[in-house]
Amino acid sequence: MPFSSITFIFLFLPITLILFYILPKKGWRQSILVLTSLGFFAWSDPTHIHVLIISVLLNYFGGRIIGKNLEENSGRKVKIYLWVSVFLNLLLLGFYKYTGFFLNSIEAILPISIDYSQKALPLGISFFTFSGISYIIDVYNEVHPPEKRLIGFSAYLIMFPKLLQGPITRLIQIKDELANPKFYPLGIMEGVRRFIGGLAKKVILADSLSIATNKIFAENFNDLGAGIAWFGIFAYTLQIYLDFSGYTDMAIGIGQMLGFRFPENFNFPYISRSISDFWRRWHITLGAWFRTYLFIPLEFARRREKHLRLQSNLLIVFLLTGLWHGASWNFVLWGVYYGVILALEASRFGKTLKKTPPVLQHAYSLILIVVGWIFFRINDIQNWGAFFGALIGLNGWDNIVTFRSLNILFYIPFLIPSILFSLPFMHRLGEKAKAKGGGSLLILDIVYIILFLFTITFIVSKGFTAFMYAEF
């Protein structure tokens, strides 16, 4: 049940909000969150509801056992329970997500044949598994005590707004709100604005661009001219941001309507001045997760190594970041690509870059980001060469495949609002209106309502498509 479906917007959301608002006690509100979240998942992915329940129970009891042993000061046991809990989480993720990839890779290397059919990936498994691991490690590190009530813990782990695509939230970030779920009209109003903005980004812009990019990337790249190839990857660059940040806006907005403040996931990544800057602005909660639970421990564990420690740690972290995105070599290499660039930026090159004019820094970052999306979008590595060939004009500016032959000429104007909504300009305009209040705020809200009606018109007329990050 995507957030952009009619079922969600006009049935699931109002029913959930009404139930949540009318229930007088915090425990009931937690229960309704758990029940609606289970219903949300069961509707979207009925065959994997048991995976979600296993994850809840695994992390709940894992946290309780670790907490109990911490109280008893049994250090060795705690470590064992920590590793077992983390291992079981990774096993769950690995079993569904990486078994096929692992066996295929073995088949490619060794002269053996393995009979294995790829299992369907449980929705959101990468997100709720990482939330579970963060909870276990935070309990171990005594960031917070283990959650005593199963309902309270379940509400944290499987809360529907963030269940399928994040933001990956640590318990500490919403602990107070979870303990005493409350809602305020101002928070709800802000949530409504955020939800509408995200919905419009997804439905009007990302979904429209996706039609164009899907057509382009389905073609034989040897038939693409440079013009359409550049349009394709540029449009994809905007599409993936608008799709994922649109989802995040909706998730954060629904969270606000329910009285939760989830962490931000994006901070206008395409205005970055370096790739390090980009990864502080793109999928922030995933970056924070890897930094907190992998990079910093790696740095600590290897603190005595002097030579290329930081660079090699960055490479490891980003290789795994790539692998987290998908079980295929293009994602691994996409991660390595960023690992190498970040390793370079962590060296002397980074200092030189900072001394160049800002416009060059932006250009450098944007070009590398766009190139990165090529690795991300084209699963078959063998086709990368042909696409790069098209980009540099080996097939000429125009070729057999054109805007007209694909019937996508009319998607070109979508680039303008897509660019505007990818830059801070529109956001600042909205913030100014909110700060001014009065008539400006009223006008802003009227714009939001018109945008909502317009978006619903789009959904009714053209349908809706799945979110891109749902497959990770």
Partner 1 sequence: MMKKAYKFILIIFFILILSVSLFWLFRGKPMPTESLVEGRVLGLPENSYPTLKIALEYIQQGRFDLALDLVFDLYTSGSLQNKFDSAIADQFPLRMPLIRFSKAIDRVIIQLSYSFTDDNIFPADMTSDIYIIPDLQALIYPPKTIEEEDYASIDNRIANYSDLVSLFPNQNFYIYYLEILEFSPINPLLRFFPKADMGQAYSYLKAHLPEEINTGIFELNEMNDHLEYFFRTDHHWNTIGILKGYRSIYGLLSNNYANIPPILEPTSMVPFPGIEFKGTLARKTLYPIQGDDFIGFEADFPECIIKDNGVPIKLDFREEYLRGDYSTTPFLGHYGLYFGTQEGIINYDCAVNSDRNILIIGDSHARPLVALIATQYKQTYFMDLRQDENFNLTDFLHEYQIEDILIVGGPNVVFLNDELWEISVN
Positions in the binding site for partner 1 (CB under 8 A) = 1, 5-7, 9-11, 13-14, 43-44, 46-47, 185-186, 188-189, 192-193, 196, 208, 400, 402, 404-405, 407, 409-413, 437-438, 441-442, 445-446, 448-449, 452-453, 456-458, 460-463
Query: Helix, strand, coil: what percent of the chain each, to 5?
Result: 75, 0, 25
Residue 39: closest CA among 188, 133, 160: 160
Neighbours of 76 (CB within 10 A): 8
Rounded-to-integer distance, Cα 17 and Cα 71, Å: 39
Given the complex with partner 1, which of 143 and 188 has the nearer CB atom?
A: 188
Rounded-to-integer distance, Cα 204 and Cα 182, Å: 32
Rounded-to-integer distance, Cα 393 and Cα 106, Å: 37
Q: Which residues neighbour 35 within 8 Å (Cβ) at sequence distance 6 or greater?
A: none
Rounded-to-integer distance, Cα 344 and Cα 275, Å: 10
Given the complex with partner 1, which of 428 and 462 has the nearer CB atom?
A: 462
CB 458 → partner 1: shortest distance, Å? 6
Given the complex with partner 1, which of 50 and 355 has the nearer CB atom?
A: 50
Given the complex with partner 1, which of 196 and 286 has the nearer CB atom?
A: 196
For helices 125-140 and 150-158, angle between their N-to-C axes, nearest 10 degrees: 130
Given the complex with partner 1, which of 69 and 418 has the nearer CB atom?
A: 418
Rounded-to-integer distance, Cα 376 and Cα 281, Å: 18
CB 436 → partner 1: shortest distance, Å? 11
For 224, phi then psi, to 5°, come to -90, 135
The structure tokens listed for 189 are: 């109003």
Given the complex with partner 1, which of 111 and 439 has the nearer CB atom?
A: 439
Active site residue 325: yes
CB 264 → partner 1: shortest distance, Å? 21
Residue 163: closest CA among 188, 135, 134, 132: 132
Q: Provide the CA 206 distance to its chain's centre, in angstroms.
A: 15
Given the complex with partner 1, which of 7 and 74 has the nearer CB atom?
A: 7
Of the residues 50, 325, 362, 427, only one is catalytic, namely 325
Q: Which helix (H) or strand (E) holds 64?
A: helix 49-71
The structure tokens listed for 106 are: 């073995």
Query: Is-contact 147 159, C-beta < 8 A?
Result: no
Q: Is the dihedral of CA 125, 216, 207, 459 positive or negative?
A: negative
Q: Is 401 helix (H, G, I), strand (E, B) or coil?
A: strand
CB 226 → partner 1: shortest distance, Å? 17
Rounded-to-integer distance, Cα 67 and Cα 60, Å: 11
Neighbours of 412 (CB within 10 A): 12
CB 463 → partner 1: shortest distance, Å? 7
Q: Cα–Cα distances in Å, from 376 out to 127, 240, 429?
A: 19, 10, 32
CB 438 → partner 1: shortest distance, Å? 7
Given the complex with partner 1, which of 20 and 153 has the nearer CB atom?
A: 20
CB 18 → partner 1: shortest distance, Å? 8
Q: Which residues does the annotation mark as catalytic?
A: 325
